[in-house]
Amino acid sequence: MLVGIGCDIHRLVTGRKLVLGGVRVEHESGLLGHSDGDVLLHAVSDAVLGASAHGDIGELFPDTDPQYKGISSEVILGEALSLAAERRLKVYNLDCIIFAEEPKLGPLKQEIRAKLAELLSIQADRVNVKAKTMEGLGAIGSGEAIAAQAVVTLEESR
């Protein structure tokens, strides 16, 4: 069993769609980024890359490369999973945390969980999604940013 961690933070700005864990979230602002800014999928992707010793998504998808502008983060995760699969590794489970003051994510956790399970090709009972506020503290607490952390384990695929 191999363990990987990932974390990410993106700035919240008006005029962008908010996508978290591949789920479109209704909100008056969205996450700035070279890609769609899906901070959760970036953290998950980095955790997969970490567990399979493939570096990080900044190396795979440089934000200086125009071909990746506006790219769906599902493509980034798919690439991370492909690299792991080349080493005969697949995701066993995922635990993750979204840090956001707004919007309230409690009602969306199950939808995000189901989407993550689909993207990782595992059962939903191997996926856990937590949502936390920062109690008004710092950049996240003031609504300037959303962050995410993820821990993934990989197992050898049979």
d(CA 22, CA 66): 22
Residue closer to Mg ion by CB (options 2, 9) is: 9
Residue closer to Mg ion by CB (options 31, 151) is: 31
Task: Show Cβ contacts of residue 70 under 8 Å, excluding neighbours closer than 6 positions.
Answer: 34, 35, 36
What's the closest the beta carbon of residue 5 comes to Mg ion, in angstroms? 15
Tokens of 144: 């300037």
d(CA 69, CA 130): 29
Tokens of 70: 């506006």
What's the closest the beta carbon of residue 158 comes to Mg ion, in angstroms? 32
**Count of positions (residues) in the chain:** 158
What's the closest the beta carbon of residue 109 comes to Mg ion, in angstroms? 21
Residue closer to Mg ion by CB (options 39, 108) is: 39
Residue closer to Mg ion by CB (options 8, 74) is: 8
Residue least distant from Mg ion (Cβ): 42
| Binding region for Mg ion (CB under 5 A) | 8, 42
Tokens of 139: 């950049």
What's the closest the beta carbon of residue 107 comes to Mg ion, in angstroms? 24
